[in-house]
Amino acid sequence: MKILVTGGSGLVGKAIQSLVENDENDYLFLDRKMCDLTDYSKTLQVFEDYCPDQVIHLAAYVGGLYKNMNYKAEMFENNMLINMNVLKASHICNCQKVICCLSTCIFPNKTNYPIDETMLHNGPPHYSNDAYAYAKRMLEIQCKIYREQHGKNFICVIPTNIYGENDNFSLEDGHVIPSLIYKCYLCKQKNEPFVVRGSGNPLRQFIYSLDLAKLILIVLKDYKYNESIILSVSEKDEVSIKEVATIIANKYNYVEHMVFDESYSDGQYKKTADNTKLLTFLRNEDIDFQFTNIREGIEKTIDWFIWNYNEVRK
C-alpha cells in the first residue's frame, strides 16, 4: 500500500513518521520543499509520479492567534488552493481513501457546548480566525461533494489544539503551547518576566501530537464511515491557558516570574468538543487507546525543545 502524507515535515507528519518506521506500507512524506501544493500542476505531477493508494492530508498554511488575525488573505487563499489541489489530484489519480485534517477552531463562535461533528456549519466562526476557518470548512464540503458525485472515500478528522515535538515554536506565529515554551525559555535566560498575553482564562482541549498520529492511523485503517469525526480528549480534560502556562513555568522553575498582559486579546473563550463519536468508534472496534496527560505531554515537549534547540523551528 502506498500512502502519501502531505505536510510530512510538520508536527503531525513527523509524529506519524515515528510510528511507521517499520511499517509494511510505503510512505511518502511530502513537504513544501518537495512540492508547492498551491500549484495544481506541480501537485498533480507528484501524485501521478507516486500513484498513492491512500492520502493523509495534513498540509496547511497555519499560525497562532495573531497570525490568523493579521494575515487573513494569505490564510484564506493559500489554504483554499492547497485543499482544492490535493483533493482534485487524489480524485484524478483514483486514491482509495483520503483523510483530511480540520480543526475545532473552525466551528461557530456562538454555539452550544460541547460542539459535535454536526455543528460545523451552524454559524460564523470567531472573527479572529474566520479566514482560516472558512477555507477549512470548504475542505469538508469538498470531501462531501466528491463522496456524493464520485463515490470517493474522502473524509475529515477534526482534532483539537495540537502540541508536541517538531512544532513551530515561533513567538509570533506559533500556537500557544510551543510559543510559550520558547518564550519562557528566553525569559529565564534573560532573567525577565514571563509575560503571557491575555488573561489566561480561555479554556482549550489539547491533544499530544503522537496521540493524534496514532488516531489518524487508526482512522485510516479501521474507520468505515463517511461522516467527519472529532479527535479530542474528553471535556473533563479541558484546561485554561493559565494552567498551561503554569505547567511550562514550573518545568523551567520560573513560575514566580509569570505575569499576564490583559491588553492582548484572548480570542475565543472556549471551543469545547464532544468526543463521543470517537470513544464509541474505539469501543466498537475493541481498540484500547489512552490519551497522554497534558502535563506529561508538555514536559516531554520541553525536554525535546531544549535538546534540539539549535534545530527547532522558531
Q: Which residues are catalytic?
A: 132
* Residues 167, 168, 170, 171, CA torsion sign: negative
Type of residue found at 85: N
* Residues 174, 176, 179, 182, CA torsion sign: negative
Report the run of H or E that residue 169 belongs to, with start and end.
none
Alpha-carbon distances, residue 287 vs 140, 210, 222, 255 (angstroms) = 26, 16, 10, 39
Please give the sequence-ordered ranges of beta strands (E in DSSP) within the chain, or none if there are none: 2-6, 26-29, 54-57, 97-101, 153-159, 161-163, 194-197, 203-204, 206-208, 229-231, 239-240, 258-261
Which residues fall within 8 angstroms of residue 105, CB to CB, at 6 or more apart? 125, 126, 129, 132, 133, 161, 268, 271
Please name which of 159, 175, 176, 163 lies closest in space to residue 104, comparing C-alpha atoms.
Answer: 159
Dihedral, CA atoms, 18, 20, 21, 25, nearest 10 degrees?
-160
The cell 498575553 sits on which residue?
197
227 burial (CB, 10 Å; 0-12 / 13-18 / 19+) is exposed
Please name which of 178, 187, 197 lies closest in space to residue 314, comparing C-alpha atoms.
Answer: 178
Please name which of 15, 4, 101, 103 lies closest in space to residue 52, comparing C-alpha atoms.
Answer: 4
Please name which of 59, 30, 15 lies closest in space to residue 167, comparing C-alpha atoms.
Answer: 15
